[in-house]
Amino acid sequence: MRSLSLLLVVAALPLTAQAPPSTSPPVPAIRLVTAPPAGVPDTPRAALEELLAGNGRFAAGKRVRTVDTGRDAALRAALVKGQQPFAVVITCSDSRVPDAFVFDQEPGRLFTIREAGNAPDLQGLASAEYAVEHLGSKVIVVMGHTGCGAVKAVREARGRPLPGNLWALQAGMAGLLESTPEAPDEDAAAYGTRLEASNAQRQAQALLDRSNLLRERTAEGRLRILPALYHLDTGKVQLLQPLTSAAEVEHP
């Protein structure tokens, strides 16, 4: 087995502006490696370590899992037999957020749910439950991103109905503007980033509020649900305040 060459300590970075208040415990320090471990992570902590290590490689321009095209045929053949995605990524449909690249993972390792504004509807919620219950996923990352057009559209509409079916964006983010008001003298860019982070947190919380299965798995320590924000300019994924209980952290 390849030896682990470098250990890092990664903690959540602060938001550009103050994040919405939370009574949840801070994100614990995570031990990371620069080289991808073999096999599929089998605990929530190991799954999160692999995601963050992969993002570190991506941000540094050192991807290893998604660049070997010589393995494509063999990988396709292996995946015909089944899949074992260790993580669910609920993220925006924005073409600038390629989650497999962002976390440096090849096909078969991530179960991705993409909707504008990373606000899963009932089908998205059912998809997350399926991945956890039937495919064994250990972590769910609800990942917003800077420069989100869906959040901007809702912000600029300020309660006025958007045209066509775009009203669904407003429905998915209902209450976002009220829960995250603009601060005096706050510039548009800072407020936009704060809204994007707040939306990721709200959507992560909604998973727990709407799903008995996900709540149970989290309470048992078999699952972690974390909100995050992807920064387009740096390629880094910023973990936000966790929404799950402290009891979950005790499970290795």
- Can you tell me the distance from the alpha carbon of 180 to that of 198, in angstroms, rounded to the nearest whole number? 7
- Own/partner pairs for 81-85, CB < 8 Å, 24+ apart? 83/108, 83/111, 83/135, 84/40, 84/108, 84/109, 84/135, 84/136, 85/109, 85/110, 85/111, 85/131, 85/135, 85/136, 85/137
- CA-angle at 160, arms to 159 and 163, nearest 5°: 130
Nearest to 148 by CA among 114, 181, 186, 116: 116
Q: Tell me the C-alpha distance between 193 and 17, whole Å.
A: 8
DSSP code of 96?
Answer: T
Report the SS3 class of residue 123.
helix
- pLDDT (tens digit per residue) in 71-114: 778 888 888 988 999 999 999 999 999 999 999 999 999 999 99
The stretch 145-150 carries a mean pLDDT of 96
The pTM score is 0.80
pLDDT at 68: 62
Query: What DSSP element (H or E) covers 198?
Result: helix 188-210
Q: Give me the half-sphere count of Cα atoms (radius 13 Å) on the Cβ side of residue 152.
A: 11
Q: Which residue has the tokens 């972690």?
A: 224
Topology of domain 7-249, CATH? Beta-carbonic Anhydrase; Chain A (3.40.1050)
Give 169-226 pLDDT, tens digit per residue.
999 999 999 999 999 999 999 999 999 999 999 999 999 999 999 999 999 999 999 9
State the DSSP string of 22-51: --SPPPPPEEEESSPPSS---SHHHHHHHH
- For the chain, give every domain's residue range: 7-249
Question: In the predicted model, is pLDDT for residue 14 greater than 50?
Answer: no
pLDDT band of residue 243 (cuts 50, 70, 90) is low
The Cα 82–Cα 135 span in angstroms is: 9
Q: How confident is the model at residue 159 (pLDDT cuts 50, 70, 90)?
A: confident
Q: For the segment 127-143, what is each residue's pLDDT rounded down to a tens digit?
A: 999 999 999 999 999 99
According to DSSP, residue 107 is labeled T
| Contacts of 137 by beta carbon, 8 Å cutoff, 6+ apart | 47, 85, 86, 87, 88, 111, 131, 223
Whether the per-residue pLDDT at 236 is higher than 80: the answer is yes
Least confident of 1-15, 137-151, 238-252: 1-15
Report CA-CA distances (Å) from 119 to 142, 183, 241.
Answer: 9, 24, 18
Report the Cα 223 to chain-centroid distance in Å: 14
Average pLDDT score over residue span 13-21: 39
Beta-bridge partners for 143 = 91, 228
